[in-house]
């Protein structure tokens, strides 16, 4: 595609580690113990994806969206935030909540929608939210979390808090009207928000080249009057560097940044999708060479921070943890029918109280057949 002569050049892609895991740029300052923690978290995400997709195939949960291949973008962006910052995720950012303190048991309970679910079974599987880690539920209506992130940032500005809000999106959501509305408003009012785009090359079955005529996603920020940064999304150190700078800039009151993390969705869009119908195997094999875990593993081994024999033990520990969480979650009953009437009014009115008594008397909500039907 030939760019318009008047179009700004695409931003260069920030990279710290090459695909072999060798440092080619300035390495951000990160304590060695945090480097190990980052790797373990990326490994945890991948093992969890494998186990949850297996549960879905067995009919024990109804729907799942993996982040396999995108662990560096998720983990690196989470690392740059403070615990007091707010997160507005999309489909593949459950690992952000996991980094911030959500437990695997809570995630499994949400996927089942049972009594242990922090959302009391009110959301679709994988549409995660957790108040204790300041993560707001997203909607499958693409991009709606972005005006919410912008609005929360505006509230933080009004309240004079130093909070930063992170709004996640995929490359497809950058074509939505909500992206435009959020970015335009945030740019005009210089709000403390970071728009973090995981450009994984595919919006379900639509490739990036048919998604936008722009040379990049990051370049779209120019029209809204704030910086756009393009980063190698499979390089966790580069993601941390770019996101940390964007978050710090927002916290200083200098306004928003659009971070484009160039990565790749290794699996389907969700457990309901077959990517072999629209994607060439050669493309997948090429991206497998850029695997974010392999790249970071090589870097850590080169620095003497990781020994090859350690990882199998960690993987077994993670599988044991996940297995225990599944066992506990599957033993829990569905949410009580009475919870359906909570949180509607501050004080329950007589007609809802009557309906609640009737539902309890009839034993409604006690029979459950199969997983969430998706």
DSSP 17: B
All domains of the chain, ordered by start, with CATH? 13-335 (3.40.50.970), 337-374 (no CATH)
Summarised one tens digit per residue, pLDDT across range 142-159 is: 999 999 999 999 999 999
CA-CA distance, 207 to 49, in Å (whole number)?
Answer: 23
Kindly calculate the radius of gyration of the chain based on its CA atoms and give it in whole angstroms: 21
What's the confidence (pLDDT) of residue 10? 54
pLDDT band at 7 (very low <50, low <70, confident <90, very high): very low
- 265 catalytic? Reply is yes
Q: Measuring CA to CA, which residue among 283, 266, 199, 258 is closest to residue 233?
A: 199
Q: Locate the DSSP E strands across 250-293.
A: 257-262
Q: Out of 44, 92, 100, 269, which one is annotated catalytic?
A: 269
Strand-strand pairing, 13-14 and 228-232:
parallel
Are 184 and 157 within 8 A, CB to CB?
A: no
Task: Assign 77 to helix, strand or coil.
Answer: helix
Residues 40-61, mean pLDDT to the nearest whole number: 97
pTM across the whole model: 0.93
Distance CA(75)–CA(261), nearest Å, equals 12
Among 105, 249, 265, 297, the one annotated catalytic: 265
The pLDDT of 20-29, averaged and rounded, is 94
pLDDT value for 1: 42
**What mean pLDDT, rounded, does the chain reach?**
93
Element (H, E) at 230: strand 228-232
Query: Rounded distance, CA 108 to CA 21, Å?
Result: 33
Q: What is the mean pLDDT of residues 171-196?
A: 97
What's the rounded mean pLDDT across residues 309-325?
97
Active-site hit among 82, 278, 289, 357: 278
Q: Which residues contact 359 (CB under 8 A, 6 or more apart)?
A: 337, 338, 340, 341, 365
CA distance 234 to 288: 11
Active site residue 278: yes
Say how far apart CA 135 and CA 334 lie, in whole Å.
23
Rounded Cα distance, 69 and 220, in Å = 25
Q: State pLDDT tens for residues 56-107.
A: 999 999 999 999 999 999 999 999 999 999 999 999 999 999 999 999 999 9
Q: In this structure, what is the dihedral angle of CA atoms 173, 176, 179, 184, given to the nearest 10 degrees?
A: 150
> For residue range 272-296, what is the model confidence (pLDDT) as tens digits?
999 999 999 999 999 999 999 999 9
Rounded to whole angstroms, the Cα distance separating 285 from 91 reads 24
């Amino acid at each position: 595609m030939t760019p318009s002569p008047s179009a700004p050049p695409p931003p260069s892609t920030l990279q710290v580690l090459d695909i072999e895991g060798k440092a080619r740029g300035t390495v951000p300052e990160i304590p060695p113990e945090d480097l190990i923690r980052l790797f373990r978290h990326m490994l945890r995400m991948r093992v969890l994806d494998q186990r949850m997709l297996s549960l879905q195939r067995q009919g024990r949960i109804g729907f799942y969206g993996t982040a396999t291949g995108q662990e560096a973008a998720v983990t690196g962006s989470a690392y740059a935030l403070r615990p007091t910052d707010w997160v507005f995720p999309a489909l593949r950012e459950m690992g952000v909540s996991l980094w911030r303190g959500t437990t695997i048991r809570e995630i499994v309970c949400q996927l089942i929608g049972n009594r242990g679910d922090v959302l009391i079974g009110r959301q679709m599987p994988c549409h995660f939210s957790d108040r204790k880690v300041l993560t707001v539920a997203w909607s499958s209506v693409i991009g709606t979390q972005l005006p919410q992130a912008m609005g929360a940032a505006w509230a933080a500005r009004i309240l004079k808090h130093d909070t930063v809000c992170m709004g996640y999106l995929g490359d497809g959501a950058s074509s939505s009207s909500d992206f435009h509305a959020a970015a335009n408003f945030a740019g005009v009012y210089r709000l403390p928000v970071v728009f973090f785009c995981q450009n994984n090359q595919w919006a379900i079955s639509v490739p990036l080249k048919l998604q936008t005529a722009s040379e990049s996603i990051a370049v779209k920020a120019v029209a809204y009057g704030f910086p756009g940064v393009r980063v190698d999304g499979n390089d966790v150190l580069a993601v941390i560097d770019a996101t940390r700078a964007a978050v710090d800039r927002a916290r200083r009151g200098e306004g928003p940044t659009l971070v484009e993390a160039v990565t790749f969705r290794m699996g389907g869009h969700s457990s309901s999708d077959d990517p072999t119908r629209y994607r060439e195997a050669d493309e997948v094999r090429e991206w497998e060479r850029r695997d974010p875990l392999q790249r970071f593993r090589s870097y850590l081994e080169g620095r003497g921070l990781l020994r090859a024999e350690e990882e199998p033990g960690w993987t077994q520990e993670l599988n044991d943890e996940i297995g225990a969480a599944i066992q506990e979650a599957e033993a829990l009953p569905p949410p009580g029918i009475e919870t359906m009437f909570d949180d509607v009014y501050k004080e329950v009115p007589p007609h809802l109280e009557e309906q609640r008594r009737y539902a309890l008397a009839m034993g409604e909500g006690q029979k459950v057949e199969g997983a969430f039907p998706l």
